[in-house]
A and B are shown apart, each in its own frame.
Chain A
């Protein structure tokens, strides 16, 4: 508990710093903080999860993440900022991660990867390529930045429709409508 409080105030502090000065440094520090906290929480949850439980790692990390970004004692304005940054950050983290995996699979870092891992074909976690999505999302942003923002919030940041509407200050039905459009457009880009 104590730890969470400290963290919340730390985040508020950083957010303030970021919104006052728009320093790249403070965004980076924030990113590190979020990432580190995510990892710590993931670890804790995973350890806590006993044999026989059906909860998936995925759900656990997601839960941890949501807890972190939904700190109620951060002001609304800051929270909106935070969501926005978190979405961008998550996109960055995920794309970096996907790139690393991609490189390993392409055999680019052969010598560094233990043979066992290089030859292990794991369960595919997604039914589409994150890197391709990232590129398509850039193209979508050129057409209509607003749609790309919704995708960042919903997919990369994991917000539901209501939360997304709150952050963007638009109605839920607009979010739903725009989400359908973004999905249709991106899905077509990825499957053509």
Chain B
């Protein structure tokens, strides 16, 4: 029976393919008669084939090429490479293998790195790399690896360098915890080497523990100058090559993102300051034993790098001087303008601090030989480099003043106490946005006879660690809550003292090899218990027990807050880490509101769905980004190309349908659906239904509120409601650009021009490149009143956006000759030349009184289905046309929401 059906399907499918493409549907309909199952089966096969042009057309053997390549590369002992004889392989990485070899000419041991084929294939990149590597080596800096030779033998490119007997910092991390003095040694030497390089305009771009070698005598050598750039360019090259070959197989290559600066991770242009960031991360890791933006996955690391502030070092290491914390924080600032601006400054500050520390150490010796401070200060150990916790805190900047030593000794203690309390004061008062702060109290034993710190503090520590990994939480460090160990403390009082929103108070009981933990989450303000957790674990493996408790509780808390606040992390929608990372990347680009960024967003989303075809949110992302392209984003020169609009709309709707098929309750998909109904189909009733549904499904979605606002100030004709919606969106996501743009448009459409002008200024500050575009888009030109003011604003925005001088001059002349009307006439010329959106041209012609042209353009804009037509009824720039009967007809044609 099944076989019979299969044969039938095959038969019809085969003959359908014999038909002309546009006749297939009809043919299949006829042949299937009334058999709907059969019809559906054939149709789904036909449409599957439609999207499968390239599917399986490249032989599978292509996929093992990489494996072959990798395997083919390993060289064997005794093989000669020029006058170098391979002794053994000593390392391998993304860029090639490293071998220990004997230089037979000069009779010395050298390291030979053989570059991977794909990194040495492009001659010009290779030449650049060789130049950079040679220049770095030519600096003759003692802390930069000396390169003897770069060359090619037979078929391979190789680099011969001095052979360092030592370990990479990575290897050292795996072995031991570094002493503070060692951290300073490594940091200062590395910073010094980079400083010399930067002064010669060489950027390393790939500072990470694998690239720092430490000799047994503590001497630092930095490896692989310039290689990162080579990789980067190859990555881009590959991307381009693949893109040419196959539109769907684009890709991004990222290296180890743990050490990348945000700008580097985002693929933006980098300068010297990227090395400052990476070195900062390295110093952080040397002190804390972990990198500052580590997440459980690459995607999370990426998200943390972009969004999260790192935890204070004191959280991981008790002995970090405040001043060192400050230096590291300044090195790893997300905004490169807020970092140290030169490596020279880093070196200076690090050296100063080290000097002060050793000064203080001397102080300490004086102090311990007879002042009252001895009671408090622990005795220093024999090792001059080991500094203990208490003494570290005393290196506040005040020490720099070199007061008489003995008098200073006690003052130091006081200052350090002040510094410490200031630190916590500052921590409490840092603006934290919507984040929830929480203090985890040490556990209390129900049976006081069986108290054990490993449970009291150990579990608290695991909890702190786990909670800190949840986005949206500010967790007080262990050092802040430790003091509650011995006090019978009212949790709410502790919460008030810590100035947190929540306190987690727990107790435990041990019996029969089991530990039972009960935790209660107090809302400090309301005094209510919001969540209770009970867990029972074996005590055999204490660490496993601690982690299990922390993990269970973390999950509980995450879902608790996901329910009430809709934390996005609770609904990733994919199990695939890479897909999630790509999705985040897509969102990031999508919010930049330019066409190239939208294309990058699409690329990221498309890759995400390739990795996880069931990833509904990524499909919705595609839908939104495609819609953005159809809407015609900045730059203005790309506005409105009709084929693009129709095509993008089609793809966008396909993605909407796919997303809804996978998740019928996905808010974002409804937002995208609304946009398509609103901006292309001009089906305003359907648009309203869709965006209301989007809000209903996720009342905390900024996108949903933004989309609804766009509906409201257009066909909805409810400006106050639109403004209320967009304000909600901004509250939900103050960092996103789109709601800010829409807010400006809202105000303009509401004819609240003064407020619109102020908002426009803010927007231009945030998005200077888009300044001029926004000026025209949001109706800067429409704002009636003071021409001089409008022109001043235009000039400023042109400068902000980097408009060329010629254009600025043309506008100036036009303004001087004919005032604002002159500017508009110039704008009309420019928009014709630049093929900008027809609707916008209509707006300009309306304003300069050429109604005939204005209506012509409106008609064309309607035919082309420009998204602006949805706002025909309310756009203030068209006000001069409103009493013309042709306008009413146009409005009727587009449709009016009843």
Contact = CB atoms under 8 A, between A and B. Distances in A.
Interface of A: 38-40, 42-43, 46-53, 56-58, 60-62, 65, 90-91, 93-94, 97-98, 105, 107, 114-117, 119-128, 130, 133, 143-144, 151, 154-158, 177, 180-181, 183-188, 190-191
7 contacts: A120-B255, A122-B251, A123-B242, A123-B249, A143-B6, A180-B49, A181-B13
A117 B62 contact: no
B67 interface: yes
Interface of B: 6, 10, 13-14, 17, 44-46, 48-49, 51-52, 54-56, 58-69, 71-73, 92-94, 117-118, 120-123, 126, 154-156, 170, 210, 238-239, 241-242, 246, 248-258, 298, 577-578, 581, 607, 610-611, 613
Contact of B59 (A42, A62, A128, A190): A62
A122 B116 CA distance: 15
Contacts of B578: 105, 121
B69 A98 contact: no
B775 to A, nearest CB: 39
B60 A156 contact: yes
A30 B122 CA distance: 37
B701 to A, nearest CB: 27
A177 B248 contact: no
Contact of B58 (A43, A58, A120, A177): A58
A115 B45 contact: no
Contacts of A190: 613
A186 B254 contact: no
**Main SS class of interface, B:** helix
B253 A42 contact: no
Contacts of B61: 58, 61-62, 65, 90, 94, 156, 158
Contact of A184 (B49, B251, B613): B49
A124 B610 contact: yes
A186 B52 CA distance: 10
Nearest to B59: A158
A10 B64 CA distance: 24
B799 to A, nearest CB: 39
B898 to A, nearest CB: 40
Contacts of A42: 65, 68-69, 72
Given A38-B68, A180-B17, A94 B63 contact: yes
Given A53-B121, A116-B210, A184 B45 contact: yes
Given A42-B65, A126-B63, A180-B49, A47 B154 contact: yes
Contact of A187 (B48, B170, B210, B249): B48
B48 A61 contact: no
A58 B238 CA distance: 13
Given A120-B254, A125-B66, A144 B6 contact: yes
B117 A123 contact: no
Pairs of residues from A and B, 8 with the lowest C-beta to C-beta distance, nearest first: A43-B72, A158-B59, A123-B251, A47-B155, A188-B48, A42-B68, A184-B49, A58-B62
**Residue among B72, B170, B257 facing the most chain A CB atoms (10 A cut-off):** B72
B63 A98 contact: yes
Contacts of A157: 59
Nearest to A185: B45
A39 B71 contact: yes
Given A52-B123, A185-B45, A188-B44, 15 more contacts: A38-B68, A42-B69, A47-B155, A49-B121, A58-B65, A62-B59, A94-B64, A116-B255, A119-B254, A123-B252, A144-B6, A158-B60, A180-B49, A183-B56, A187-B49
Given A42-B65, A125-B62, A187 B55 contact: yes
Contacts of B251: 121-124
B13 A52 contact: no
Contact of B60 (A52, A123, A130, A191): A130
A95 to B, nearest CB: 9
B733 to A, nearest CB: 27
A130 to B, nearest CB: 7
A61 B68 contact: yes
A126 B171 CA distance: 35
Contacts of A127: 54-55, 246, 248-249, 610
Contacts of B126: 51
Contacts of A188: 44-45, 48
B14 A181 contact: yes
A123 B55 contact: no
A122 B256 contact: no
A155 B57 CA distance: 7
Contacts of B258: 115, 119
B593 to A, nearest CB: 26
A147 to B, nearest CB: 9
B465 to A, nearest CB: 19
A99 B61 CA distance: 15
Contacts of B577: 107
B75 to A, nearest CB: 11
A56 B55 CA distance: 19
A55 B200 CA distance: 37
